[in-house]
Chains A and B, each alone.
Chain A
């Protein structure tokens, strides 16, 4: 290869490393939904069902950490609906006028579970096992909802250990964290690949990886993650966006969400 080919190659490789999903242009009948990564499978199905009941409408998704989606929307990304894994991200958007808080609906709930590597090579049999030195534990980053919930759960477990006369549970568990990933999904992938022994993820994530053993967290130590969805102020098809948010509360959509491990909308 001649030397003159090298610079374009270098540029190509830099380009390759810098690519990120851009915001698609709005077209009539095309609905763009920014949704939390944990909704990937459920929303795939709901989107298909919505398209079926709304002929001529096509739904496209951008799945990522809620925080990242919020940042993209603040930087001018064009979308019609935002479905967040945490009310906080929705509130932040609404506070800046990007979403209408009065149109926001809590459409699903989720909880945290512990997933273990296939075959449970690390031989973890209880939540106490997460504190064992040398274990490789992965969490979502503190900055994303899944990571915040996971740390809350560890905190709650620490309190119950302390009330039973134990000490240093949270410290020992957090010392085992080998990566703080961008989303619970990424943390789950590391366990699926066998790189990590365990991860704290959403119950819905665990459903998408049925081959992995799951440790449940007692309800009194768990958290309830609420998922709000709202039409976005910049949407060029508010009517359709509002219809999609309303559709999330229908028995059809609620059924799909439950199949994927979510608890439905609050009663």
Chain B
């Protein structure tokens, strides 16, 4: 027994010394830099926490690749084959559907004037704007007021929680991420209420899938942000800062 243990110890220490050699052979030891955080007595750049940074950075890179190898080629194909006025019509159409999100959340925040304005926009664009293909409400003095469930939660005093980078949707927060789910649920319920035949028959499923895909393409088409598009090494930090700030501007209004 003692012999075996001794053998194991010898074998282990041999193995460990070998790994030690391997590391030093390829990587020289690190040397502390001339300037480091210990000398800075200033505030932090972004004061909110990034508790899920590892996950977020991984997701940021994932989105970069999703864009590069999948979404952006499709978007450029779409932009190439469809005339500009069609693209504009498609964007208007989906923006008009999104008014339901703006509307429900204006109601949730008990914003009377804004609720009426958003309802006015939705009705005007759905009728005069031929089912939302044209945005006639904006020139008529009814500008779009973005609302979503994340902002509703913010309005009622719920903090954003940790920063969160979602696949496809991109920069978000724990609060705003759950908001996206709630808004999707409400929209599904509304669509089902208007058209109770949802989910009956394969034909509808196919149409539904097509519309969802078109909406996703339209979303990416309308968003000029490109992951690593600035090639600025601290783009992740900047994006996090400006996303958080932007939501801070939008909420509590």
On whether the two chains bind one another, the answer is no
B residues neighboring A (CB under 8 Å): none
A residues neighboring B (CB under 8 Å): none
